[in-house]
Homo-oligomer: A and B are copies of this chain.
């Protein structure tokens, strides 16, 4: 029904997450209506990101060169390492302005069902960083999901073997700010109780 280049664009757009056939069609018609300049700016931005962005050699965060901006920043404390699953998690934590250490991006979480074992993540590389330290604290900031928790436990156990003097911490689990107890799920409320703090 479409000319082949239009069909190809719709097919490629519908591979994006959360983009179904109808949305892909709408986006394609938007790009067709848009100026050449606007549409080609998007095409160029995609190519450029694939050409220029790789992984940081130290922490495996996204990097525009061999080191990411955080590893290249001398003011960041190299003795505190925050371990996250994905590069997008680095952004989320940076937005809080509460962390001044460095990161370590695992590239996912342990999930034996999906065939993701410790060797598939940058866990050995984390241990190597700790060994060549000095490292004071490892903050495990994997997601509070089954796979994220399993990954946290695995790394905590590994860290005890490598150097029991390095503090290993985990992000607090509890009620989100602004939440209502009435609507909190039991697991979250249970965690909030177990992790209660002196006021």
Contacts of A28 in B (CB 8 A): 49
Contacts of A26 in B (CB 8 A): 17-18, 88
Within 8 A of B (CB), among A25-66: 25-32, 36, 38-50, 52-53, 62-64
Mark each residue of chain A from 1 to 21: 1 if its CB lies under 8 Å from any CB of chain B, else 0: 111111011011101111000
Contact A86 B29 (CB under 8 A): yes
16 other contacts beyond A8-B49, A15-B42, A18-B23, with CB at 8 A cut-off?
A: A2-B62, A3-B53, A3-B64, A3-B68, A5-B48, A5-B52, A6-B62, A13-B45, A16-B27, A16-B42, A17-B26, A31-B46, A31-B50, A36-B50, A40-B46, A42-B46
Contact B94 A3 (CB under 8 A): no
Contact A42 B29 (CB under 8 A): no
Q: List 18 interface pairs A-B (beta carbons < 8 Å), by A numbering.
A: A3-B52, A3-B53, A3-B62, A3-B68, A3-B69, A5-B49, A5-B64, A6-B64, A11-B45, A13-B45, A17-B26, A18-B23, A18-B26, A25-B91, A28-B49, A32-B49, A40-B47, A46-B46
Q: How many copies of the polypeptide does the oligomer hold?
A: 2
A148 within 8 A of B: no
Q: Which of B27, B43, B49, B52 contacts A47 (CB 8 A)?
A: B43
Residue total for A at the interface (Cβ-Cβ under 8 A) = 51
Contacts of A15 in B (CB 8 A): 38, 42
Contacts of A91 in B (CB 8 A): 1-2, 25
A69 to B60, CA, bound (A): 49
A59 to B50, CA, bound (A): 39
Contact A30 B17 (CB under 8 A): yes
